Amino acid sequence: MGLFSSIGKLLGGDSSKYIQQGKEQELAFQREALDYQKGIDAPLIDYRNQALGQLSDYYMGGPEAQQQFYDNAMNSPAYQNYMQQGEESILRNAAATGGLRGGATNPALALNQFNVAQGLVDRNLQGLNSFANPNLNTGGIANTLGNMGIASRNAALAQGQNQQNLAGIGLNIFGTAASAAMQGQ
């Protein structure tokens, strides 16, 4: 073992190793936090992308794409249920008021069909809008990445500073020893 390494160990020269280990542990925890955050956001990002695709189809895909939304709504069990309830309500009201033979019942039944279909399409679009705007933690992910960079930089700076300090101490000791040796001649 050389003179400088012995002096460095006496003066805490191994501290750079501990600083580096501490920074590596810090980075490991930040990587774990980053992986967790990404895992939480991954399904939300998938849902957002699917919803944006469907909204884009509806608003920019032309009449065929819009017709598909109405077809899907009208083929749903909800449509059948709402239609049945609406028709029963209209017919009950017409029977109670003597309007079955009047001319208002058929237009009311037709309007019910339109209102139910439009209501379901609107509700589906609102649902897609909800998925298209999830509460993502992109700010937290960006902060974690920034902190990881800072921790890595600080570890490198600390290690370099420690090595520089040890070299300075070694030179001071060497200079003092050389000066003492010259005076002893």
**Residue pLDDT, tens place only, 105-129:** 888 888 999 999 999 999 999 999 9
Name the residue with higher pLDDT: 53 or 181. Answer: 53
- The single residue listed with the structure tokens 């980053």 is 34
- Does residue 157 register a pLDDT over 80? no
8-state DSSP, 133:
S
**Residue pLDDT, tens place only, 32-85:** 878 888 888 899 899 999 999 999 999 999 899 999 999 999 999 999 999 999
Q: How confident is the model at residue 98 (pLDDT cuts 50, 70, 90)?
A: confident
3-state SS track over 57-76: HHHHCCHHHHHHHHHHHHCC
CA atoms within 13 A on the CB side of 143: 6
Whether this model's pTM surpasses 0.75: no
The residue extents of the domains of the chain are: 14-176
Backbone angle region of 62, left / alpha / beta, with phi > 0 → left and psi within -120 to 50 → alpha: left
Question: How many angstroms separate the CA atoms of 26 and 155, rounded?
Answer: 10
134-150: average pLDDT: 72
